[in-house]
Structures are given as structure tokens and as C-alpha cells.
Structure 1
């Protein structure tokens, strides 16, 4: 009998990691109630920049208004989950309705998310940097019925922007909006103490529900099923319109539980410094939902990413875990070198959202005196993590892979015809299991393109799967550079250049070339040292193949990023001007 071993060929790259902990069948509301029962005195959320905090028991405490005066309720209870949930029901929202949250990281963002989940609404996480046309698109795409919005953030004035989209808001005397173009929209709820014409304040919604409404919440929540949709994530599109990925309670709760265990939250009480935006799956799942399983505390360092605020939150709140994207860690390390704050509490860093170079891993660990750096890998449509570091890994596993396949998931790597390739062979990563999104909202064509009839979700990532269940990302297919017939993935060059002692960040992309089809361009940010293009070329020679050495080399002070910390390479391409001397 001929076997793979006798033929000296690796078996096909398919792996199923069963794991040791079973999946659970719970909603986010049930998961929160469980946390409130087990960890009631722990802080459920700390908004460091607002000076606000709520314990798990306070966040869901039911208060009898007969024994508490109105002022006391406003001061201590107005932001609690059940009162917000009861008010939303009183406003006329029902199970399955979509409620948008358009705001930076605040305590009320957290309350709005949990309140929506409590009563079966579908929260729609809106990028707080979106401009008016982008928000208008989202509102129409998913039929938003209510919007919770902050007053403003940076240059954004959310009320004025919403009124530009729906002029009827200003003339809505009773707060109930009637718009012919946005017929689904019923109400705008402002996170503000000011009165904005045609809107409700959050405290107005908090006061709508009676004691009977509060008592009825448990009855109504029994009809919510774990398989129901709970959240819509607009994918960060670099070309075309973003797609609306619909996620379920089952997706989020189970992915969060297994992330929590691999992040070692089950070993002690942890505080998590949250640097990522809450509208992103990194914020909702890896930061908020993860905390529920073991009573951990997310700490919102700032409304948007601010490295100094993150460092001060870590020190003052004694955070043990840091969450962030690679670009955030680069800035965090630079700021810590400048401030040299007395950070002694940190133990673990979690990085995800983009590829992280081995050198950056080492820099994160040494700068913050960590015992572990965890990498998470996945995509929004996978809830979002499908590979994650585990405890006790070797340095190779930590720095050269994206971790071990998550519990209860299957992975395979296929060629362009959909056929399995052998282990250690590049191909497209496909994943199947509990974490796959339900669909792209109202887009069956895109859904079928992404999820096959046999439930495999195509990630679009060029990937190498190992026999031990670990994976290595080669790059996104859409980022691959075809230079004169040679396929080059930017990540390989980026990882190599990051080992240069004076380079703190670099990003590689392809640009059009008449002769080669595409040429390689790199933008580099240094630590202040003066480097020349020839210095970079000499550094590359003898270490990477000649065709991988960038032809175009530019030095920059910063990079265009999304609000979730991802580099916008398409903007770099658009800005590229071919040097006349070339």
C-alpha cells in the first residue's frame, strides 16, 4: 500500500482542532447575566478618559423606582443596561430591529451594545470616522431603525451630519422621525446632556421604562435564541462599498470564550487596556465579550487611539493585558521610550488586525516586560479569530506563526481550482465551523462567493498550514505583487526590513510598471536616523532575492490608517508618483 510517507509527500493540508472545552449555547445577554452572578463586584467596564466605571452587578441591577428618587436614579442608574433596554422597547424597537452606534469609545457605547443584545436588537457598529455619505449608505443598506450617537469626535459633528442625511430630524417635535427616503429610521438618541431638536437624550430613554417594563425584560429575553443575529460589522472596504457581515450571539459568545482561555484570562483577574475602536470586532469580541467569561475588566484608555493615554491608563488602572494592532504597538513603544513611565503590572499583549513582524513581537515583549505576547489571526466574517497563540509556545511558534487553529474549527488550504494542497504549501485558507458569519446582509451573491455550499468560508489569505495545526500567513491575494511573472508577497519583505535597527515601520506594495507589469515600492519610517535609498538596497543584498529588493524607496513620517489601525495601502498606491530619474 502506498502512503504519503512512502511517497515522501506531505498529506493534504486539512486540520480539525477539537479542543477540550465544549461550545455553549448562550446569548450575549445570558453571558452577561452569568458574569453578573459570578463576578458582581468586579468592574464590568472602566472608561478611563471619562472617569467612569460600572461593576457587573451595577450594570444590570434592577432598581425599584418607588424607593429611589429621580435624581438618585439619574446619577447612579441612568446608564445601566436593563433601563436602557426597557426604554428602547418602550420606544417601539423590537427583536431583529437594527440600532446603530456611532461614537468613539465611551461607557455609553458599551451600555448601548449590551442593551441591544439584551432584547434581541441587532447592533450596527459604525466607524466613528465615517463621513456623511458613508453613514447614509450604512443606514440604507441595513435599514437602521434607531441611532445612538455622540455629540462629536475630532472633526465629526454627528448631529449635523445626521440632519444633513435626514433633514426631517430637526422638525421631529415628538422625537419620532418620519422620513420618506429613510423610512425605517424612527429615532436618534444623543449621548449628551444638551437637547438637540428632534432627538432623545440617553437619560430620556432610561426614564421611559416602568418597573413593570423592567420586570418583563426576562420574559422577553427568553425568546431570543443564540443563533439569532446580534451585530452587523461593516467590513473595511478598500475597493467598492463595505459589506455588512451579520454575526450571531453564538458566533460572538463562543469565539470570545475560547479567546479568553487562550489569553489566560481563566488564571486570575485581569484588566485589559483597550486601544482598539469598539466598532471593530477586535473591540467588541476580543476586548468586551472576552471579558465576560472570567469577569475581566476592559479599560477604555481614550475615545480614540492615544498612546500616551494608553500608557497612563495602564499605570493608573494596573492593567495586566494590552490589546492593539501592530501599528498601535509601534507608537506605544515609541511613546514609552519618550516617557519611561513606571509600568510594572503588564503580563500579556494581544496583537491582531494585521500582520506583526517577528522583530516587533520581541520589541513589545522587552519594552513592557511581558511574559507572553499573543497573536490573533482571522477576519470579521469569522467572529473574528480563527488562529490564536496558546500557552507555552516556542519562540518560533510565537514569532513565525499566527498561532494554533481555534477550538472546534476546521481549516484547509486550497489552490486556485479549489483542490487541497499539501501541508507547508501556500494556497488560500478556508475555514469551517461555528464562527462563520450568518451572511452578508441582503447580499446573497456576495454571501455565496464567500461561503461555499458546503459551508467553507474563503478568507482570501495566502496561507501555509502546518501538520501541527499552526499557520503562517503569506499575504492577502489582493496584495500580491506580480513582478515580471514572479509572485512576491509584501509581508516577506516587510518582515525582513523590520529587522533593520533603524527602521520602526515599513509597508510594501506594488505599483504599475510598463516593462515588469508591477514593481515593488516601500515606504519606510525610521527612528530618526538618516538612511538613504542605497543604505536600504545594500541591507537587502545577499539576504533576499534580487527581484524582491524594492525599486522605489520612500521615507515618510507617518502612514494613512483606518481608525482600527490598519494601514491603507491603496492610499499609498494612489499617492505614488514615479520618480523622473527612474
Structure 2
């Protein structure tokens, strides 16, 4: 690959061709193609469920479930929320949405009732496929709390005042729950005629049709909904997989990341589909001990994880000293230190550690490690510019800065989202008429095509790979009866990267403790957003307009 270098703007010259042609490859057709070439390979192994399926078996299950969707009233273009931890049913349902022509809406399994209510109403979700219970989460009870009509409704005929778009709930449960269809029940509704309908209309689904919606937070404090097409998802997975050496041999991937995230949906699922790799789910949620178990038992050759996950995995391996066969670790979701990369190589026995960098709004990856990167490139940069991608770095006046100078990274590429769902204003703020997407990341481009993140221009905390925007937490804490004003910041943390700190001004003669803050937040926001540090202050510096300046 050669690189065309402008002042502060980089473009790959003669890159690898995009995946297939515009007429042939949706996510659903990609699955068909993979079955032709790798049908007998294991597609997915869910260790904690003691289940596994070959690609041929996956296609059969996917089409049966998609046919069941038709039976219970799903239509092409319906928005279907997936709200569950890492289960084999999540994987199947994701692909069934694509084959049925529905738009899969990925929802964080840690979300609480108010957060899921917002997601449903933000994009007008028509159906939810959810788990039953996971850790402290009871998804069915959560839905009942925001939709009291559910338990008294006929399955598939929900009418809710608070959730007007929602018609259907499917639960992945061992029991039948009032007002819902059971996942296995829907699977068994398929018949030959409905399966034929699913298979025959694959060519009617267009590659530029929406395929996936990823929620991504913004400075307004509430998530925005990035819309990703089949073309985006299939092709980004193709290039990611090639950079991660999935084309070199058959790999088994230990999946520590949540499937709902772009890391799971594109870097993991789409990439594996493109090359016939096997995904191994150690546990429903991240558990370093279970990850070590499957690395040993399933002989996984690649690991996917965030830096925080690797900290825990390395510490577990230091204690257990298991003989494992992992060759490559892929790290993303947050910046990873040079020290951690070296720890991963030394204690996990890896030959390579690779970085990926991107955003939900760019489908997933923009920069990624190459196969022959040295230690500096692997540990001190976010990798090399991805194929078919233009990037530039600009100053506050939108002027391109010289190579090696810090500024805001902008991206123009095939993978840039279709836009934010039903939010033209925010879409135009993110992507200009010239199609350059503003990342909000302070970035340095090197002349050799590699990049380094040196800071963030937007107000965001990254805790263990999860993006957190302070305003959502501030808005909640400001409803506390003893709190006058709140300012939420990120503090450096060795394991998590950053932890959430709430700086608060309290009412006179009142007290507030961190335990009270945690209890007040519990059930209202996801656990990873809850502050772990509390600072009580007398006041905050103000700008001339009366807004808080930096604390």
C-alpha cells in the first residue's frame, strides 16, 4: 500500500477493493456466501450456555427465526431492539433481523428502565428482543415498570401510552412471560412457505438500507442514534478482518467484548462472517476467569477486549499460569498504555497486539494496526489509516494543520454513518455538506500514515471502554433534594482508564455521601455511569455568561 500525503491530509492510494458489488452483498447475503465456503466450520460457541453451531446451522436457525418474525407481524423496515447480554440467541437474532429486512437496534444490556424507555421512543422501536435475567437486571420487570400494559396484552398486540411505537416483545427465557412471545416459540413458528419468503426476498434488501442503529452519547447528555447501512457494516468488517489476519488461517476468537457495541457487531461479528472465523463466548458478561478457561479449553488464537479487560485477564493469568495458544490480541474502545501492551505479550504469550480506532459514527474502524508493526507502532499509535478512508486534522477555524501538529481529526469515508436517526440538526453538526465527519478527538497524524490520539475536544469520559457523557449524570444528580449544583468529571484510573467523579454543591445544613449518591443513581442510570468518587465544593468557577468553566 502506498500513501498520498497532503499537508495534514492522508489518503491511501490503490487500496484493496471494496467487498463485492453494490448489487450483491447485504449482511444477510454475506451469511449465505460464508455458508458456501465455510458451512461446516463452527460459527459460534457459547461456552457458558454449552451450545455451538456451524455456519450451516446458523443460517438454518436465522431463517427460521426470521420466518417466525414474519409470523408475528414484523415487517421490512421495522426497528427491532436487541437488549440482552452475550448469548447465542443475540447472535442469531441480529442476523435474523438482517435477513428479515429489519433494522437491528443495539441496546446496552446494562441500561435501566429510564434509559431503555428513551431508546425505544428515540427511534420508534417496534419490537424488543430481550433477555430475562442477568446479574441484577430483570429485563421483563424493567419493561413492565415503564409499560404497565405489557402483562395484560396479547403477545404482539401491545398498545402502550408511554411507548407508542412498541408492538411486540420477545423474551429469551426458560418460561413464558405474560404479554410476550418466547424466543423458542417464535423459532418454532417457521414453516417452509415463510422460510422460502425470507430466502427469496434477500435481493430486495438494498445494501444502502439501514441495517443497524448504534446509540452513541453526545454533549447534550442523551444518546444519539447512529444509522449504519448493510454496505457500511459488511465492508468495514471485511477490512477489519483482513488487518486482523483472519484471511491467513481459520481463527477462533475469544469474545470478551459485549456484542451490542460496535466492537462486537462489526469488529467481531461482521469480520468473522467475512472470513468464516469462529466466535467463542466465555460468559454472558465479562469474566476474566471464564476467558482464561475458554482460551485454554477452546484453544482460541485471537482475543478481543478493551484495555480494562486485558488488565484483568493479565492479572488472572499471572495467578493461574495457564498454557494458552493465543497469538493476537485486538484492543479497542479506549487508549491502551505501552506498559499494558507489553504485559499482554509477556503473560498471554502473544506474538502481536493490535489496536483499532474509530467511532460508532464511522461504523467502526478508521485506523488499525498492520501485520508487521513494530513495538512503537503497536503501543504508541492507534494504527495505520484504513483502506478507502480520507482523514485530515484541522484547527479550531477548520484549517488543515501540518503533519505532526495536533488538531481535530475529521474523517471522510464509505463507512460514515447515514446520519443520526430523526435528528438532522445533530447530523449536520457532525457531518458537513462536504461529507467530512468531525470526530471530536484531538489527534496527530504522522507522515507514515499512523495516528495518535492526544486528547478529546468533546466532553466525554471513557470508563472501561464505555463512553459516558457527564450531562446525563449531572441532570440526574441535580434532582437530588440536597444537591444544588453538580459537575461531573473523569479522573485517571489505572485499571479503568478513567473513573467518574461527581463534584457537587449541597444545600446549607445538608450532607451527602458517596453511598447516598450510588443508591440514588442505582436503577436510574447504567451501573458504569454511577460516580465512584465524590467531591463536595463551595462553588464552581463561572464564565461571563454564567456557565460553569472547567473545574
Aligned equivalent of 2:11: 16
Tell me whether 1:453 sits opposite 2:433 in the alignment: yes
Question: What is residue 555 of structure 1 aligned with on the other side?
Answer: none
CA distance in 1, matches of 2:224, 2:326: 37
Structure 2's unaligned 5+ residue stretches are 463-469, 471-487, 497-525, 539-551
Match of 1:411 among 376, 386, 391: 391
| Native 8 Å contact 1:414 1:429 kept in 2 | yes
Structure 1 residue ranges without an equivalent (≥5)? 1-9, 62-79, 481-489, 492-508, 510-517, 527-565
TM value normalised by structure 2: 0.83
* Partner in structure 1 of residue 547 of structure 2: none
Distance in 1 between the 2:118 and 2:225 partners? 11
Choose the corresponding residue for 1:423, options 386, 393, 403: 403
Aligned to 2:478: none
Give distance in 2, aligned partners of 1:570 and 1:105.
22
The offset of 1:577, in angstroms, is 4.9
| 2:42 equivalent in structure 1 | 43
Q: Does 1:30 align with 2:25?
A: no
Q: Contact 1:229–1:248 at 8 Å: present in 2 too? A: yes
1:286 equivalent in alignment to 2:267:
yes
Q: Could you tell me which residue of structure 1 aligns to residue 544 of structure 2?
A: none
TM-superposed deviation, 1:174: 4.6
SS at match of 2:458: helix
Q: Give the SS at the match of 1:49.
A: helix
Q: Shift in Å at residue 165 of structure 1?
A: 1.3
- Distance (whole Å) between structure 2 residues aligned to residue 59 and residue 277 of structure 1: 20
Judged with a 3 Å threshold, the aligned counterparts in structure 2 of structure 1 residues 288 and 359 are, in CA distance, closer, same or farther, namely: same
Runs (4+) off by over 4 Å: 236-239, 518-526, 566-570
Q: Is 1:341 the counterpart of 2:340 in the alignment?
A: no
Deviations 1:143-199 (A, max 9, x none): 111111111111111111111111111111354212233222111111112010111
Aligned partner (choices 207, 210, 216) of residue 188 of structure 2: 207
Residue equivalent to 2:222: 241
Q: Distance in 2 between matches of 1:469 and 1:144?
A: 41
1:478 pairs, out of 442, 453, 458, with 458
Aligned to 1:575: 534
Partner of residue 465, structure 1 = 445
State the SS of the aligned residue for 1:314: helix
| SS at structure 2 position matched to 1:32 | helix
Q: Are the structure 2 counterparts of residues 308 and 228 from structure 1 closer, same or farther at C-alpha, using a change threshold of 3 Å?
A: same
Which one of the candidate residues 142, 145, 150 is aligned to 1:161? 142
Task: Answer whether contact 2:71 2:189 (CA < 8 A) is retained.
Answer: yes
CA distance in 2, matches of 1:519, 1:140: 28
Structure 1: how far apart are the matches of 2:105 and 2:535?
Answer: 35
Structure 1 residue 60 displacement after superposition: 1.4
The Cα shift of 1:58 comes to: 1.0
Distance in 2, Cα, partners of 1:412 & 1:17: 13
SS in 1 for 2:127: strand
Q: Which residue is 2:172 aligned to?
A: 191
What is the CA deviation profile of residues 46-89 of structure 1, one whole-angstrom value per residue up to 9, with x for unaligned ones? 1111010000011113xxxxxxxxxxxxxxxxxx1000001101
Counterpart position of 1:150: 131
Counterpart-to-counterpart distance in 1, 2:300 and 2:378: 22
Aligned to 1:370: 350
Corresponding pairs, count: 480
Query: Contact (CA 8 Å) 1:233, 1:380: kept in 2 or not?
Result: yes
The partner residue of 2:89 within 108, 113, 126 is 108
Contact 1:238–1:568 (CA under 8 A) maintained in structure 2? no
Equivalent residues in 2 for 1:40-119 (5 A)?
40-61=39-60, 80-119=61-100
Cα pair 2:72 2:156 within 8 Å, conserved = no
After alignment, is 212-221 or 403-412 more displaced?
A: 212-221
Q: Please give the secondary structure, in 2, of the residue aligned with 1:197.
A: coil
- Mapped to 2, the partners of 1:365 and 1:568 lie a distance apart of 28
8 Å Cα contact 2:159-2:167 kept in structure 1: yes
Q: Deviations over 1:489-545 (max 9, x none)?
A: x99xxxxxxxxxxxxxxxxx9xxxxxxxx999645569xxxxxxxxxxxxxxxxxxx
Shift of 1:395: 1.8
Partner deviation per Cα, 1:440-478 (whole Å, 9 max, x = no partner):
111111100000110001000000011121111101113
Structure of larger gyration radius:
1
User: For 1:250, what is the secondary structure of its paired residue?
Assistant: helix
1:95 to 1:521, Cα distance in 2 relative to 1, 3 A: closer
SS at match of 2:248: coil
The offset of 1:207, in angstroms, is 2.3
State which of 360, 363, 370 in structure 2 corresponds to 1:380: 360
Q: 1:525 to 1:94 in 2, by over 3 A?
A: closer
Deviations 1:195-245 (A, max 9, x none): 101111112211223211111212222110111101111114576101111
Does structure 2 conserve the Cα–Cα contact (< 8 Å) formed by 1:245 and 1:439?
yes
Cα distance in structure 1, aligned partners of 2:489 and 2:180: 53
Report the counterpart of residue 321 of structure 1 in structure 2: 302
After superposition, the Cα gap between the structure-2 partners of 1:335 and 1:519, relative to the gap in structure 1 and judged at 3 Å, is closer
Could you tell me whether the CA contact under 8 Å between 2:308 and 2:495 is conserved in 1? no
